[in-house]
């Protein structure tokens, strides 16, 4: 059986070969001590939200189990972003890879450098739609994630690829 806490990670890329970047990030994640990748959703092409003057993204969500603490897990995610050449030119701007810690078990974490559940995840089709693919019974912000996915995908451009 998988060991540790079940977490959900959002993966996104809109620079370079986005699908290859995400596949590489998943491989690095699976090869990280203290992390096992349990499942991932299909890939989606998604309209940029937040900073919209940029290309469409490829997004997915993965379920992992980890024995790492939230901070240690966050450091591993950032290390993978750096390894794949993440350059922060414009905050919210284009990126080769983005790994967001969405959920860490049922924990609520409010620290300057870490907020879990991710504060904007319930507003983002690019998170909620793939999340509903792998865990439709989750409840986010008091709403079943599969209902949230149906509602948000009617408002934001998102295409299964």
Ligand X SMILES: Nc1nc2nc(S)n(CCO)c2c(=O)[nH]1
Q: Residue 142 region, left (φ>0) first, then alpha (ψ -120 to 50), else beta?
A: left
Q: Decide: is 96 part of the binding site for ligand X (CB under 6 A).
A: no
DSSP at 78:
H
* 135, 43 contact by CB (below 8 A): no
Catalytic machinery residues? 86, 95, 98, 100
Q: Decide: is 50 part of the binding site for ligand X (CB under 6 A).
A: yes
Among 12, 94, 117, 130, binds ligand X (CB under 6 A): 12
Q: Decide: is 94 part of the binding site for ligand X (CB under 6 A).
A: no
Q: Decide: is 130 part of the binding site for ligand X (CB under 6 A).
A: no
Please compute Rg for the chain using Cα positions.
15
Choose between 92 and 159: whose C-beta lies nearer to ligand X: 92
Q: Decide: is 48 part of the binding site for ligand X (CB under 6 A).
A: yes
Instruction: Report the length, in residues, of the chain.
Output: 161
Integer Cα distance of 153 and 157 in angstroms: 7
Q: Decide: is 135 part of the binding site for ligand X (CB under 6 A).
A: no
Query: In whole angstroms, how close is the CB of 117 to ligand X at the nearest point?
Result: 14
109: three-class secondary structure by DSSP: strand
Q: What is the DSSP string of 25-53?
A: HHHHHHTSTTEEEEEEPPPEEE---SS-S
Q: Which of 102, 87, 79, 86 is nearest to 32 (CA)?
A: 79
Among 81, 98, 132, 152, binds ligand X (CB under 6 A): 98
**Candidate ranges 28-36, 46-54, 79-87, 103-111; the one touching ligand X (CB under 6 A):** 46-54
Among 21, 26, 126, 152, binds ligand X (CB under 6 A): 126
Question: Which residues contact ligand X (rule: CB under 6 A)?
Answer: 12, 46-51, 57, 59, 92, 98, 100, 126
């Amino acid at each position: 059986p998988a060991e540790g806490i079940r977490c959900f990670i959002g993966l996104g890329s809109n620079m370079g070969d986005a699908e290859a970047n995400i596949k590489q990030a998943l491989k690095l994640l699976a090869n990280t001590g203290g992390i096992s990748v349990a499942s991932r959703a299909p890939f989606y092409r998604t309209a940029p939200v937040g900073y919209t003057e940029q290309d469409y993204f490829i997004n997915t969500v993965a379920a992992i189990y980890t024995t790492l603490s939230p901070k240690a897990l966050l450091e591993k995610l950032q290390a993978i972003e750096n390894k794949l050449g993440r350059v922060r030119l414009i905050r919210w701007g284009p990126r080769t890879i983005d790994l967001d810690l969405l959920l860490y078990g049922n924990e609520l974490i409010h620290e300057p450098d870490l907020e879990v559940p991710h504060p904007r995840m319930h507003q983002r089709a690019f998170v909620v739609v793939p999340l509903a693919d792998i865990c439709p019974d989750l409840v986010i912000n008091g709403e079943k994630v599969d209902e949230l996915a149906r509602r948000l995908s009617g408002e934001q451009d998102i295409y299964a690829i």
